[in-house]
Amino acid sequence: MKTSISIGRIMGIPIKLHITFLLILPVFAYFFAFSTVNIMVFTLGFGDAASLTVKCVFGALAAVLFFVCVLFHELGHSYVALRHGTKIKSITLLIFGGIASMEEIPKEPGTECSIALAGPLVSLLIGVLSLMLFFFLYQTTSMLLYVKTLFGILAFYNIFLAGFNFLPAFPMDGGRVLRAFLATKTGYIDATEKAAGVGKIFAIFMGILGFLLLPGGIWFVLIAFIIYIGASEEEKSTVVAVTLEGIKVKDIMTPGVVTVPSAMTASELVDFMLKTKHMGYPVFDESLLGIVTLNDVRKIPVENRINTPVRDIMTKNIISIKSGMGAVDALKIMVKHNIGRLLVIDNNALVGIVSRTDLIRSVQILR
Ligand SMILES: [Zn+2]
């Protein structure tokens, strides 16, 4: 399922909007249009405005500009990353902000640190500029009053975003700075585990605080949950990526794959599976034709299995890889297509099979 749409490119990077972003944008617009929250000198919303048109126009404007600022935050990370030679695959805006997905996370601590700091610094810059414009318009009474409120909203949320991201907890940007700092003293995996640990502890405290402040604290609970998941994911993916670095598919694949002929019937296949205890087989005559699994057999009624050849039930568009591919990339393909095994094909010849279990076992052994 396609979960995001592309809206264009900036600095050569595809900008995408995630489905959750498209759902949350009207909620933000509604919130800005019809609520009024006073914090310090700021009025965060147009709920006090006399006309409905003003509420709707400025509410929508505030929501859109807020996410444009988030986009600038991500572009800040991307700009510095590109200058250090790290490619950016895409920038996606989603429910809780933005993600700039890098081709690989730079393991040079200095580089990681500058990329991580660039985002919050951009937010801080936008925040301070908006704050100056806010105070410039502070005494105004006319229609500019709403423009002042708008700058107040941008100032408040951008400075908040910068401050929040400076927290030294994964998956916030400050967590990356912390990891970069720790990585100068210890190994990269150790540094990641420690930084993720700090992120989790932070999330737990935030969650507890949220529960104490219910019902308003529900937002804290939600953010704490996102931070906890983010920290765990970052930890897991880093451990796998670093451990499997330099490992090729040919180092971990199972060679000498058992195949079945396309003329074998479904009932013969079931007997064959019972004997060999494997759930899936490549179908091979002169060349590779497809892959057949127990699930394919299940779709055929038992009485028809005796005269149904596997060529009629096999999956034909198989995803295959080359033996020289990196193990991490193979894992990424499996996760993306949600499949458990990949056939390894070199020069039209089936040379092996690699499964998710093989990859997970390799990580356990290599650590
Ligand atoms: Zn950031």
pLDDT in tens, 295-321: 888 988 989 999 999 999 998 877 888
Compute the distance from residue 341 Cα to the ligand 1 centre, in Å. 35
- In the predicted model, is pLDDT for residue 263 greater than 80? yes
How far apart CA 316 and CA 296 sit, in angstroms, is: 12
- Written as six digits, the tokens of 214 are 């219910």
- Written as six digits, the tokens of 10 are 């900036």
pTM of the predicted model as reported, rounded to 2 decimal places: 0.74
Domain boundary assignment for the chain: 4-166, 188-243, 249-366
Q: For the chain, what percent of residues have pLDDT higher than 90?
A: 30
Where on the phi/psi map is residue 7: left (φ > 0), alpha (ψ -120 to 50), or beta?
alpha
Q: Tokens 């991500």 correspond to what residue?
A: 74
- Written as six digits, the tokens of 186 are 């210890």
Compute the distance from residue 140 Cα to the ligand 1 centre, in Å. 34
Active site residue 74: yes
Give the pLDDT confidence of 224-254 residue by residue, as tens digits: 888 898 888 888 888 888 888 888 888 888 8
- Written as six digits, the tokens of 221 are 């609970």
Give the pLDDT confidence of 164-178 residue by residue, as tens digits: 889 888 878 898 899
Tell me if 91 sits within 8 A of 67, measured CB to CB: no
C-beta neighbour count of 302 within 10 angstroms: 11
- Written as six digits, the tokens of 150 are 């708008």
- H or E segment at 239? helix 218-243
Q: Which of 188-202, 207-221, 329-343 has the lowest mean pLDDT?
A: 329-343
Q: What is the pLDDT of residue 295?
A: 87
Q: What is the pLDDT of residue 131?
A: 94
- In the predicted model, is pLDDT for residue 94 greater than 80? no
Tell me if 279 sits within 8 A of 294, measured CB to CB: yes
CA 85 and chain centroid, separation: 21
- In the predicted model, is pLDDT for residue 1 greater than 60? no
Compute the distance from residue 128 Cα to the ligand 1 centre, in Å. 17
- In the CATH hierarchy, which fold is given to the domain comprising 249-366? CBS-domain (3.10.580)
Q: What is the pLDDT of residue 24?
A: 86
Compute the distance from residue 8 Cα to the ligand 1 centre, in Å. 20
Crossing angle of helices 52-83 and 19-34, rounded to 10°: 140
Q: What is the pLDDT of residue 53?
A: 87
Compute the distance from residue 273 Cα to the ligand 1 centre, in Å. 50
Catalytic option among 74, 112, 234, 235: 74
DSSP category for residue 311: G
How far apart CA 109 and CA 188 sit, in angstroms, is: 9
Compute the distance from residue 296 Cα to the ligand 1 centre, in Å. 45
